[in-house]
Amino acid sequence: MRVAVIRFPGSNCDLDMVSSLAKIRGVQPKLVWHEEDLSDMDYDAIVLPGGFTFGDRLRAGAIAASSPALSKVKALAEKGLPVLGVCNGFQVLVESGLLPGALLRNAGLNFVCKWVDIRVENTKTSFTRSLKQGRVLRMPIAHGEGRYYLGARELERLEQEGRVVFRYCDPSGRVGKESNPTGTLHNIAGVCNKEGNVVGLMPHPERATEPLLDPEGLADGALVLSSMASRSPR
């Protein structure tokens, strides 16, 4: 599976994403500069990595969202290509309208970098289809603007359609205020589009693909990244 990791000016998790994907069996990642040609003949999936695209001027992810590269990503997403946005990549997906909602300044106003637990809520997406419902995954977050927001009625619909993919929880899987690091609505850490091929999440799976880098010695992020390469549901 050929995966394009798109690098914008200001992306800073691009190389981390490429090196982590390269460890996943069956995945061949390629770093693609945003001005390069991106045709669906070349790639089987697209990843928008974290960082501060275009310095997060205007709003986080806003300028990348209106770039020519994103129009191509949109067209490919409509054809059903799996698209994953992590952190700033999630912000870009939300800004571009590929995913609903907005990512606001964290409730504490500070940037938060810490390891968190998230619970898998939807196993029908391209990036969770090899995972079990309710499975708890450990990975780090690192962002200043990750408080997911959506109007009450739309949020209700999003929940009904099962489009919340990941929710912050405690290590046992319990979702509560204590395990919400940013004040995000309904503890939302990641959502998907209707079809489930476009997923965005704030936590960084690429930073959790080796036991060496996880204080608990796990590698849960690899489960998310390898899901896209698995042929069939679990």
Partner 1 sequence: MSSTVAEQLGLGLSKDEIAYIRKQLGREPNETEWSILDAEWAEHSSYKSSKALLKLFPTTGERVVLGPGYDAGVVDVGDGYVATLHIESHNHPSAIDPYGGASTGIGGVLRDILSVASRPIALVDILRFGLISESGHSRWLFKNVVRGIADYGNCVGVPTVAGEIEFDESFEKNCLVDVACVGVGRKDDLILGEAKKPGDVLVLIGGSTGRDGIKGATFASANLKADAGSDRSSVQVPDPFIKKLLMDSILEMVSQGLKIPGMKDLGGGGLSTALSEVASKGGTGVDVELKQVKVRESDMTPTEIMISESQERMLLVLPASAASGSGGVIPVLDKYGVPHSVIGKVTSKPDLVVRWGGQIVADLPAVLVTEAPLIPWPSRKPSKPIGATRGRASKSEPSLKDALLALLSSPNIASKRWVFQQYDHEVGVRTVVKPGQADAAVMRLPNGRFLAIKGDGNSKQCSLDPRSGAAGCVAEACRNVVAVGGEPIALVDHLQSGDPSDPEVYWGFRESLNGMADYCRGFGLPVVGGKVSFYNEDSATGRSIKPSPIAMVVGLIEKESSITTMRFKKRGDAVVVIGETRPEMGGSEYGAKFPVPKASAGAPLANVKSDLATCRAVLGLIEAGLVDAVHDCSSGGLAVALAEMAIAGEVGARIDIRGVPTMCGTQRETLFSESHGRFVAAGKDGNAVVAALKKAKIPHAVVGAVGGEELVLSGDSTVRLGVSSMASRFEGTIPELMG
Q: In this chain, which stretch among 11-19, 94-102, 117-125, 126-134 interacts with partner 1, using CB under 8 A? A: 11-19
Asked if residue 206 binds partner 1 (CB under 8 A), the reply is yes
Considering the complex, state which of residue 86 and residue 164 has its C-beta at the smaller distance from partner 1: 86
Considering the complex, state which of residue 85 and residue 144 has its C-beta at the smaller distance from partner 1: 144
Strand 83-86, strand 45-48: pairing: parallel
Alpha-carbon distance of 104 to 97, in angstroms, equals: 15
* β partners of residue 143: 112
What's the burial of 109, exposed, middle or buried (CB within 10 Å: 0-12/13-18/19+)? exposed
Which residues 17-56 are close enough to bind partner 1 by CB under 8 A?
A: 19-20, 33, 50-52, 54-56
Q: Which of 13, 34, 87, 169 is catalytic?
A: 87
Considering the complex, state which of residue 34 and residue 163 has its C-beta at the smaller distance from partner 1: 34
Query: Would you call 87 a catalytic residue per the annotation?
Result: yes
Asked if residue 204 binds partner 1 (CB under 8 A), the reply is yes
* β partners of residue 45: 3
Asked if residue 140 binds partner 1 (CB under 8 A), the reply is yes
Binding residues for partner 1, rule CB under 8 A, total 30
Best CA proximity match to 199, nearest among 109, 103, 111, 122: 122
Residues 6+ positions from 139 with CB-CB distance below 8 Å:
115, 116, 118, 203, 204, 205, 207, 208, 220, 221
Q: In this chain, which stretch among 94-102, 104-112, 158-166, 184-192 interacts with partner 1, using CB under 8 A? A: 104-112
Q: In this chain, which stretch among 66-74, 127-135, 170-178, 211-219 interacts with partner 1, using CB under 8 A? A: 211-219
Q: Measuring CA to CA, how many Å separate 125 from each of 147, 162, 213? A: 22, 10, 26
Query: Would you call 143 a catalytic residue per the annotation?
Result: no
Q: How far is the CB of 11 from partner 1 (least distance, A)?
A: 8
Residues 6+ positions from 173 with CB-CB distance below 8 Å:
117, 119, 134, 136
CA neighbours closer than 13 Å in the CB half-sphere of residue 109: 0
Any idea which residues carry the catalytic annotation? 87, 204, 206
- List contacts with partner 1 (CB under 8 A): 9-10, 12-13, 16, 19-20, 33, 50-52, 54-57, 110-114, 140, 142, 144, 204, 206-207, 210, 212-213, 215
